[in-house]
Structure formats: C-alpha cells, structure tokens
Structure 1
Amino acid sequence: LHLLELDIESLRQNLVTDLDSQRYLDLLERLVEAAHSPATIGGAEQPASTALPPLATTPWRRLRAAVRRLQVIPTDAELHRIRILAKRARYAAEAVAPVAGPDAASFAKAAARLQTVLGEHQDSVTAQAWLRAAKVTGRRAFVAGELIALERIAAADARAAWPQAWQSLDRKKLRDWMSSAAGR
C-alpha cells in the first residue's frame, strides 16, 4: 500500500502543478469564450434529428476500421486502443440517442459491453505491470506472484470474451439508425 500512496501523492502533485499552469488558465479562458459565442457548423439550421445522428458514424467507422486492422492475436496495447475507440463510439451514440431514438441507445449499450470487457482486460494488464514493478521480497513477493497469476486469468478471460462483445456490437441491425438518419 505504501507504493500506491507514493504513486497517488506524486500524481496529486502533478495535478496541482498542471492546474496552476498558464496553459490550464489559457484553456479555461478559451472554454469561457467558446461558451459565450459558440461556433456553429454548416447545417446548424437543420433539425437535431437530421443533423446529429450522422455525427456518430465517424467514431463507429474508426472503431470498426481499427478492429479490422488487428492482428490475429491482438496485443494488449491494441486492445486498449479498441477500448478507447469503443468508448468514443458509445459516447457519440449516447449523445445523439435523444434525437436518434432507441436504436442508438441499443447501439450505445452494446458498445458499453465491449468497453467493459476491454476495460477489465486493461485493468488486469495494468495491475500485473504494477505488481511486477513493486519490487517486493519475501512473503510479499509470493503474494504479488499469486496476484499476478489471478490477474493473468482475468486478462485471459477478458481476451476470450471480447470477440463476442465485438460481434454483438458489429451488427447491421444495431447501426441502421446511422444510415437512416443520414438519408433524412
């Protein structure tokens, strides 16, 4: 636990430093300016039900393309990247669901399942790396080894589950709302 406390303190100090930086203050100023005079894109006069759903297609296409580029046995880093892209596709669908309808919400739910499975994998990979870096000896080394073994099992389970979660998301029926909205 001492190592975790040191990590937390170091991260807290980094956060405080970043929040005190000129870069952060500049960002806040830009956000306030944007809120006072938001920029609009072409088609802003269209109804939300027409203009918004197509915006969810880009995150989906990026996710699908990344999955298609995966190696037969993806690396941990590749699975983490897929998780990030799944999260973006999910959030895009959730954002437009109020105007796109229940099909967008169903898509978001399936994306959330994929994100959860891949999140479990990433958590396990991260825990294993942290335990290996702990440099403990004696009984603690034995316990760390046991924990690593358990995390390996968890990672393997998630690795085995992610293709099914992907197949559940990558169904035309789940994304018909994207193309039907684009045709409005």
Structure 2
Amino acid sequence: LPRTLAIGPVGARLRIWSEAGRSGSRRRTTAVLDSARYLDLLRALEALLADPPLLPGADAAPGDALVRAVRKDHKRLAGRVAHALELEPGPDRDAALHGARKAAKRARYAAEAARPALGKPAKKAAKRLKAVQSLLGDHQDGVVARETLRALAVQAHAAGEPSFTWGLVYGREEAAAAAAERELPGVWHRAARARIRRSAGS
C-alpha cells in the first residue's frame, strides 16, 4: 500500500492489535499444553500406537479399499463445492466455501496417503486437490482479514481517526475474494476430472 494512502496512525494501531493477539494466543497455547487434558491426549495416542484397533482384513491389499475411501472424500468435496457455488456471494457462501476448504484438505490428504498403493492417479489427484485447497484457503484468509479490518476501522473511527485506509484495504481483500470465487469453478473442474483409480502397476 503506498504511504500516501496510509492516512492516520494506521501502523501504530496495527502494531497494538498484533501484539494483543499474539500475547493472547501464547497464553491460550501455554494453558492448553499445561493441561491434564493434553497429557491425557498424549497417553491415548501412545496407547493407540502400541495396540491399534485394526479391523479384520487390515493385512489385505489396500488398493480397492483405498480407491473407495479416496472417492468418498472426493464426492463429499464435490457436494460442498456445488453447494457453495449455488449460493449468492456473502456470509453464507463464505461459510460454505470454508466447509469446502476443509473437505478439500481431507480429500487431498486421503489422496496423498493413498499414493504408495495407487501410484500416479493418486499423485495427480492430490496435486489438483491442493490447488483447490490453496484457492479456498486464500479465500478464507480474506474473509478473516475483512472481519479484522472492519473491527480496526470501527476502532479507528471511535477514536476519531480516519478509517479510509482500513476501508481501502478491506475493498482490496473483497476484490481478491471475488476473484478467487470466479476462479474456483475452473480449478474445481480440473480437480474433479482427476480419475481416482489404481495405477496400471499397482
């Protein structure tokens, strides 16, 4: 942002906001890591690793089961993307796109985990799903940034400071989110075309 567009004590207000958020996050993280609940979680994970509850057939070849599992996550993502794209731009669509991002992450990780057994098809699917996840992640970052920018603009206005700069940056974030929403159908179409199957050599 050019300095000529930073009107008022924008830098100072941003530093105060950043420090307050950082110290609060550190306090919350330390409290969680010091809790009995966290220690219980570590013990439960150790027990799970020592004696995993494997189902009958766990030692069978993974190919067909992996294909079904990866396809299931891919289908869930397809439904979430379709639902989000049917909505008008706004908070409901933002929430639906956030849900689609989480589903994209899950589908991507499933494809990555299946790669040793499924080979190139899983690798290609994971790469395309990563593009969907990344685009939706950028969109969600913009949603969170706009909420913060609006709060900072309100604080600046209440303190008698100009809120022009906050509004300008908000508008840029809004435009970036709209661009991501326009780009999503193409990125999703490419990911949806990835055929999830066993490779010829697996």
Q: Which residue of 2 aligns with 1:73?
A: 88
User: Is the Cα contact below 8 Å between 2:73 and 2:107 reproduced in 1?
Assistant: yes
Shift of 1:51: 4.1
Tell me: CA distance 1:176–1:96, structure 2 relative to 1, closer, same or farther (3 Å).
closer
Equivalent-residue separation in structure 2 for 1:166 and 1:105 (angstroms): 16
Indicate the residue corresponding to 1:165 in structure 2.
187
Is residue 66 of structure 2 the alignment partner of residue 52 of structure 1? Answer: yes
Q: Which of 100, 124, 127 pairs up with 1:106?
A: 124
Q: Is contact 2:125–2:196 with CA below 8 Å preserved after alignment?
A: no
- Whether the 8 Å CA contact 2:156–2:163 is kept in 1: the answer is yes
CA distance in 1, matches of 2:177, 2:196: 33
1:175 aligns to 2:189 (yes or no): no
Identical-residue share of aligned pairs (%):
36
Distance change >3 Å, CA 167–CA 33, structure 1 → 2: same
Note if 1:131 corresponds to 2:146.
Answer: no
From 29, 37, 44, give the equivalent of 1:15. Answer: 29
Of 127, 144, 152, the residue aligned with 2:166 is 144
Structural mapping, 1:26-45, within 5 Å: 26-45=40-59
TM-score (norm 2): 0.81
In 1: Cα distance, 2:34 partner to 2:102 partner: 28
Structure 1 regions of 5+ residues with no counterpart? none
Please give the secondary structure, in 2, of the residue aligned with 1:136: helix
Contact 1:44 1:51 (C-alpha < 8 Å) held by counterparts: no
Paired with 1:4 and 1:163, the residues of 2 have a C-alpha distance of 35
Which stretches in structure 2 are left out of the alignment for 5+ residues? 1-14
What is the aligned length?
178
Deviation at 1:139, TM superposition (A): 5.9
Larger radius of gyration: 2
Q: CA RMSD in A?
A: 2.0
